[in-house]
Amino acid sequence: MPDINTQIVHYQYEFRALPGENLALLTLFNPKGKAVAMLVFVDGSNPLPEPRETPGGLVIQSYYRRDLAGIIDMLRNEKPVHFTWASAARLARVTTEQEPVGEEEFRGFWARVLG
């Protein structure tokens, strides 16, 4: 499959119980509704496997469970969020675009809360 660089517009959040292990999964979807990546969150401190691509073109990327809250926060609060897969380098990443310093996101939040 070719490399991927796409905006993520939807995600699916799932917990899965398997014999001997529990996983948290995030599936990331592009603007056309196609699943482009599955982020797998595991417990432990063993080295993570390198990212890989399935024959159907879905990229599987592992993270430690402690990283789950940060990635969920990015998906919920940052726009736009992109997923990039560079197959030759075996590099998968979830990222935002550059943002200006002092964007004052909290000021906007409190203005909405306080009315």
Q: Could you read off the pLDDT of 76-98 as tens digits, one per residue?
A: 999 999 999 999 889 999 999 76
Residue among 2, 4, 1 at smallest CA distance from 92: 4
Look at 109 and 36; give whichever has higher pLDDT. 36
Residue 36 has pLDDT above 60, yes or no: yes
DSSP β-bridge partners for residue 93: 84
Question: What size, in residues, is the chain?
Answer: 115
Residue among 33, 112, 113, 39 at smallest CA distance from 75: 39
**Segments making up each domain of the chain, as ranges:** 4-114
Q: Could you read off the pLDDT of 22-35 as tens digits, one per residue?
A: 889 999 999 999 99
Q: pLDDT-derived band of residue 1, with 50, 70 and 90 as boundaries?
A: very low
Q: Per residue in 79-89, is it b (16+ CB within 10 Å) or e — as a string?
A: eebbbbbeeee
Residue 43 has pLDDT above 70, yes or no: yes
Overall pTM > 0.85 = no
